[in-house]
Amino acid sequence: MSKDKAYLIDISESMRIVVSHMGDATFAAFIADVAKMDAVNRRLEIIGEATKRLTPALRSRHTDIPWQKMAGIRDRLIHGYDKLELDKVYDAVTKVIPPLIPKIETILQAIPDPE
């Protein structure tokens, strides 16, 4: 399996997991549930790190995906944890990530498995 495919699998799985963790939680419910916040933040870190590891060639072929923002969220979670804007995390998980899942999975399906 190519490294890009492995990283896209990590991204896709983590996106699905954060959406599942969030469910239909309101923002107030999200910030009141430390375990949920921690689980979501960890998966966002994985999405960001896996995005950074994708080849530039793959990223440049799919300019409709906000790769830079996806990679950047990891840095904000790790290095700016004390200044984290939870409303932006909530919006990312409830508004930005869901429509990206099918796009990531389409890219993933287009990468052939080596025979």
Verify whether residue 79 is a known catalytic residue: yes
What are the sequence ranges of the domains in the chain?
Answer: 3-107
Enumerate residues 6+ apart whose C-beta is below 8 A from 60: none
Which tens digit of pLDDT belongs to each residue from 3-28?
A: 999 999 999 999 999 999 999 999 99
Q: Which residue intervals of 23-66 are DSSP H helices?
A: 27-32, 34-53, 56-61
How far apart CA 35 and CA 21 sit, in angstroms, is 10
Q: Which of 21, 59, 62, 79 is catalytic?
A: 79
The pTM assigned to this predicted structure is 0.91
How far apart CA 92 and CA 60 sit, in angstroms, is 22
**DSSP of 59-89, one letter per residue?**
HHH-TTS-HHHHHHHHHHHHH-GGG--HHHH
Which tens digit of pLDDT belongs to each residue from 55-67?
A: 999 999 999 999 9
Q: Which of 43, 59, 61, 74 is catalytic?
A: 74
How far apart CA 30 and CA 32 sit, in angstroms, is 5
